[in-house]
Structure 1
């Protein structure tokens, strides 16, 4: 059986149609139909129910492709292992992250990774909606939420931390912010729509937690836009440290409550690396996971690390 034909069958099952697979492979849809007919003829069973718009697996097709998927993963992993033993880690690596997170934390690290592994071709999918890891053939997903099912392995990349930030220009024109209660006098740049993250939690060194209901001046759905608006002096913003770190170091943003940890929901948040649960992890995926773990920057979780250091002291 042609391995590429089997991969086409899996892609059809994931997309639910022939046209999506044809577009992805840059071929005519009729060629995809021919592959299906050829495999079904060879097996002597019908693998797909076809309608004018959708393609679904038959019972026989589902059972067959469940076994095929595991076998192809094993073949790919075995090939990667042999290449790795020969000192050659390569292949196409599909990675996804949200737009702001990918721009801030992943993109700056990629030139070094690609220089180290010249035989890896990277496909980077930046999207604020969580892409379907299976349907999109994702090798590695970078996520800020730990929610996942048992089909995926989750590896913590770094602890997340948040800062209440404002620009020097804004602070020069508005009332000072010396405590969480002072935020009541300010209109803020809030992340999220249709459900804005306007409920902020702040915790001091004595573990006292204060709840703040931020008053939105503007709500945005993109972290990069939220950061730019805060820099421009639109108002205070609750920003993740990985997004605000460079501006805090440069002074274009000020941490207005440096003695507090802050969060829009969970003080124990983290950034995660997710990949499909396979018996053998492909060498190309393992290479990127190991590389990213070694390159996590301390300023991305500065508040958490300071708190841990204080606790040990």
Structure 2
């Protein structure tokens, strides 16, 4: 029995699939199946229950995983600590973010990191799916959410502030917007998400939030499409400040209610740096986290 076999066992157990574990380790699925069968024979235990639809741990397999996983984590941590004493950060770093956040905020900030750490190979995955970090072999994820997900560890990258904005052309040729209630007289451009389509929340310091119903003739699927519609003067829209910071600065878009806190869901949402809950952080991941936290 060697460490590679134990690592493969843990991958199969955590991913629930020979095929997924084979993909992660770049092996043939039949080879993975043979190695696990050999491990079961060596232990004289059945570790997995196999069926045509699913693969699950037996009771013995669950107990074995609880013992083996911490040992592998400790060995990986010891290896990483020793390596950090003599080596510069290196290896492939797989980082995921939403399409909009990646294109608008993340990618423009990665040039300096790329030059500073020439031994790190970046694999950037921009997706609007919340990828499973373990199944997708992700080292670091940036997620937009009100709070930290309980099964992951990480740090807040930035706090998200939402603004209701419109183009100068739209504001000049439509009914004026003096107070939040006036938004009901306009057709807004809206993200096609359940909590964004029907009402927005407005709050001022020390006051009870206002819930304002909205109407719309234009639904869009992501923040980049929303920004483009706003620039085209189609209507006002609720959008994260990081999406439109440049357009607000150059006057292409105008903040309609600058004195209000505005949200569709939660006033305390943010962008989070998340990584699988392990007992150590590879140096390549650590330096990326530190770098991004300094990019405010």
**TM-score for the superposition, normalised by structure 1:** 0.85
Structure 2 match to 1:241? 241
- Cα distance change, pair 127–226 in 1 and its aligned pair in 2 (3 A): same
In structure 2, distance between residues paired with 1:67 and 1:103: 42
Structure 1 match to 2:271? 271
In structure 2, distance between residues paired with 1:65 and 1:207: 52
Deviation, 1:255, is: 1.1
Kept after mapping to 2: 8 A contact 1:198/1:264: no
Alignment of 1:116-155 (within 5 A): 116-145=116-145, 146-149=147-150, 151-155=151-155
CA distances 1:142-175 after superposition (whole Å, capped 9, x unpaired): 12221522x4223121121011111223223212
Kept after mapping to 2: 8 A contact 1:190/1:198: no
Alignment of 1:112-261 (within 5 A): 112-145=112-145, 146-149=147-150, 151-204=151-204, 207=207, 209-261=209-261
Deviation, 1:195, is: 4.7
Secondary structure, counterpart of 2:196 in structure 1: coil
Kept after mapping to 2: 8 A contact 1:163/1:255: yes
In structure 1, distance between residues paired with 2:201 and 2:195: 16
Deviation, 1:117, is: 2.0
| 1:54 pairs with 2:54 | yes
- Cα distance change, pair 184–254 in 1 and its aligned pair in 2 (3 A): same
Structure 1 match to 2:3? 3
Pairwise CA RMSD: 2.2
Secondary structure, counterpart of 1:76 in structure 2: helix
Secondary structure, counterpart of 1:257 in structure 2: coil
Kept after mapping to 2: 8 A contact 1:205/1:259: no
Structure 1 stretches lacking a partner, 5+ long: 297-313
- Cα distance change, pair 16–277 in 1 and its aligned pair in 2 (3 A): closer
Deviation, 1:237, is: 0.7
In structure 1, distance between residues paired with 2:133 and 2:197: 26
In structure 1, distance between residues paired with 2:279 and 2:24: 27
In structure 2, distance between residues paired with 1:92 and 1:7: 19
- Cα distance change, pair 100–89 in 1 and its aligned pair in 2 (3 A): same
| 1:38 pairs with 2:38 | yes
In structure 1, distance between residues paired with 2:197 and 2:113: 34
Kept after mapping to 1: 8 A contact 2:167/2:230: yes
Kept after mapping to 1: 8 A contact 2:140/2:275: yes
- Cα distance change, pair 19–235 in 1 and its aligned pair in 2 (3 A): same
CA distances 1:185-207 after superposition (whole Å, capped 9, x unpaired): 21001113355343212234665
